[in-house]
């Protein structure tokens, strides 16, 4: 049985963001959510290496805290990993805008960053996705930017948490600009290329995925899963493309289609 936040995927996709559903996300959660009233922003404090090295921990939890630990993970390349549609253990004791049950009423986003000087500045593509993802969710639930808080602002006693390590007032200002139309939407990846070949990404399947897998010397099972996505990212890095794991017009051109 699915939990109620299954709208997350469509809301993020409609905002033009890169989305990677984690298998079983619709049924993942500690319990059902209450009324969604806002968003809590976090950073993972995970490894400096990789796009979303903390995904396993955020999905499955730690020895001292059951997972899932957030609804969404945000990779360094701006990809939103959809982890859970139910309640998550991400908030703990705290208060923001009079809301004290963070796990019940806030969507949690864990963005990959060490939280240390070795991971500053944040990648521009990741921050841009953070602003736009938060804005898209707030628009969907009918809230303004004041209903987005950093974990460090929500957590009690004060000083208990330090994430995320950026200025939340500046962050909310960016989110507010998007909600108010003061910031132009990011250009979407075209749905098809000049030859009519459609853009494909993780979660797709069929003959076109098999053609891609053949080009990349992968097993041709026709399923665009994590292994195919990893191979696509490596192919894009080698060809100096944005390694977003999405095969659109630029990637198809190099692949000869």
pLDDT by residue (tens digit) across 136-191?
A: 999 999 999 999 999 999 999 999 999 999 999 999 999 999 999 998 776 667 88
**């699915």: which residue's tokens?**
2
Residues contacting 16, CB < 8 A, separation 6+:
132, 185, 186, 187, 188, 189
CB contact at 8 A, 25 and 123: no
- Length in residues, the chain: 257
pTM across the whole model: 0.82
Identify the CA nearest to 91 among candidates 22, 137, 150, 141.
150
pLDDT by residue (tens digit) across 115-134?
A: 999 999 999 989 999 999 99
Quickly count: other Cβ atoms within 10 Å of residue 151's Cβ: 26
Q: Which domains does the chain have, with CATH numbers?
A: 4-179 (3.40.80.10), 207-255 (no CATH)
Mean pLDDT of the chain: 94
pLDDT by residue (tens digit) across 188-197?
A: 678 888 889 9
């Amino acid at each position: 049985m699915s939990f109620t936040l299954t709208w997350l995927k469509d809301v993020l996709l409609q905002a033009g963001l890169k989305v990677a559903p984690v298998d079983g996300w619709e049924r993942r959660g500690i319990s059902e959510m209450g009324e969604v009233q806002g968003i809590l922003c976090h950073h993972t404090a995970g490894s400096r290496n990789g796009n979303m090295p903390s995904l396993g921990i955020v999905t499955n939890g730690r020895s001292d805290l059951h997972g899932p630990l957030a609804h969404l993970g945000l990779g360094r390349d701006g990809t939103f990993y959809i982890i859970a549609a139910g309640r998550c253990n991400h908030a703990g004791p705290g208060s923001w805008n009079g809301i004290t049950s963070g796990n019940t009423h806030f969507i949690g986003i864990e963005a990959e960053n060490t939280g240390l000087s070795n991971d500053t500045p944040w990648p521009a593509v990741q921050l841009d996705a953070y602003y736009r993802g938060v804005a898209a969710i707030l628009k969907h639930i009918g809230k303004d930017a004041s209903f987005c808080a950093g974990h460090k602002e929500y957590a009690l006693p004060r000083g208990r948490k330090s994430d995320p390590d950026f200025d939340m007032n500046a962050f909310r200002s960016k989110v507010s600009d998007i909600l108010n139309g003061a910031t132009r939407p990011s250009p979407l990846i075209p749905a098809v290329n000049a030859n009519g070949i459609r853009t494909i990404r993780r979660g797709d399947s069929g003959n076109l995925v098999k053609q891609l897998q053949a080009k990349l010397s992968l097993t041709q099972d026709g399923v665009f899963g994590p292994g195919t996505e990893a191979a696509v990212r490596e192919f894009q890095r080698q060809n100096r493309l944005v390694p977003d794991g999405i095969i659109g017009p630029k990637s198809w051109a190099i692949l000869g289609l």
